[in-house]
Amino acid sequence: MYLLWLRVAAVLYAAGAFAVFPAVLQRSTAWRKSCVHLGGMGFFFHFVSVMEMLIQAHRWMPVGIREIESLLGFIVAGIFFLVWWIYDAIPLGIFALPATFLLVFVPALGPDTYHFPSAGVRIGWLVAHIVALLLAYAALCFSLLASLMYLAQERRLKTKPQPATSPWWKPLDWLPPLDTLERIALATIEFGFPCMTVGLLIGTVLVQETALGAAYYRDPKIVASFAMWMIYVVLLLVRRGAGLRGRRAAYISGAALAVMIAVWAANLFSHVHRFGLQ
């Protein structure tokens, strides 16, 4: 029965993680209430699941990687709600709620190794995993390109060159307005973030059919991929939450691109998650 409560908690955590972004980035009161209520109910069902799991096993300490993951997710959610209750720090939920969901998602699949019903289904999920991550990387590249174009257009407008005396600027007349470039940079990040999240989530399911276990998450490419996800969260916060624009936003996008390159470079050193070894 504890598995049922854990699955309910996972669904509620997922809904809370979805609600926390408009709650923080758009400062929406309605989404804020939804986030707290959904996450709070998920925490309650998670508590019931953990207690029932330990009581049925006649012990008070977790055993096995999935039990530890579930308990770790419970602790992360508990700390978040404690900090929110004391300091009203809802922005921490952008990190805490998605992390809790990712920690709970795999244990909610069941105590045993998950198996796909057929090889065709597994290939379909693998294709979705790769496509989602490639879309996320492409979106980040477009965001960086828009940011660089923003810098060029900004410098061009500030210098106010005369075509007769400054022919170097003439080829840049085709650049879109600053507001358009800024909206493109933000929209591509907002598109890429759910793609990255879905790609990582599918990856956690795909690994369940392997014998790697916890070693999978110590692989350099996997660590870099989750670091990439964190960079996406930071980009969303500084661009929409903090209202950062222009030069500084372009620098942060450049740093994110450097992390993305590191993810691809880590593929050369990965022994368990290299393209061609799926």
- 49-85 per-position pLDDT tens digit: 989 888 887 777 776 777 888 889 999 999 999 999 9
Residue-wise pLDDT for 157-195, tens only, equals 777 655 555 555 556 677 788 888 888 888 888 888 888
Mean pLDDT is highest, among 30-39, 136-145, 240-249, for: 30-39
Looking at the chain, the whole-number percentage of residues with pLDDT higher than 90 is 22
Report d(CA 21, CA 33) in Å as an integer: 12
Burial class of residue 82 (count of CB atoms within 10 Å of its CB; 0-12, 13-18, 19+): exposed
Mean of the pLDDT values across residues 247-269? 68
SS (H, E, C) the chain: CHHHHHHHHHHHHHHHHHHHHHHHHCCCHHHHHHHHHHHHHHHHHHHHHHHHHHHHCCCCCCCCHHHHHHHHHHHHHHHHHHHHHHHCCHHHHHHHHHHHHHHHHHHHCCCCCCCCCCHHHHHHHHHHHHHHHHHHHHHHHHHHHHHHHHHHHHHHHHHCCCCCCCHHHHHHHHCCCHHHHHHHHHHHHHHHHHHHHHHHHHHHHHHHHCCCHHHHHHCHHHHHHHHHHHHHHHHHHHHHHCCCCHHHHHHHHHHHHHHHHHHHHHCCCCCCCCCCCC
Residue boundaries of the structural domains of the chain:
2-108, 119-266
Among 188, 153, 195, 147, residue whose Cα is nearest residue 171: 153
Tokens of 8: 């309910």
pLDDT confidence of residue 278: 47
Whether 277 shows a pLDDT value over 50: the answer reads no
Among 253, 255, 277, 274, residue whose Cα is nearest residue 265: 274
pLDDT confidence of residue 11: 95
Residue-wise pLDDT for 190-218, tens only, equals 888 888 888 888 887 777 666 555 555 66
Please report where in the chains the tokens 């650049």 appear, as a residue: 175
pLDDT mean across residues, the chain: 79
* Cα angle: 30, vertex 36, 42; to 5 degrees: 130
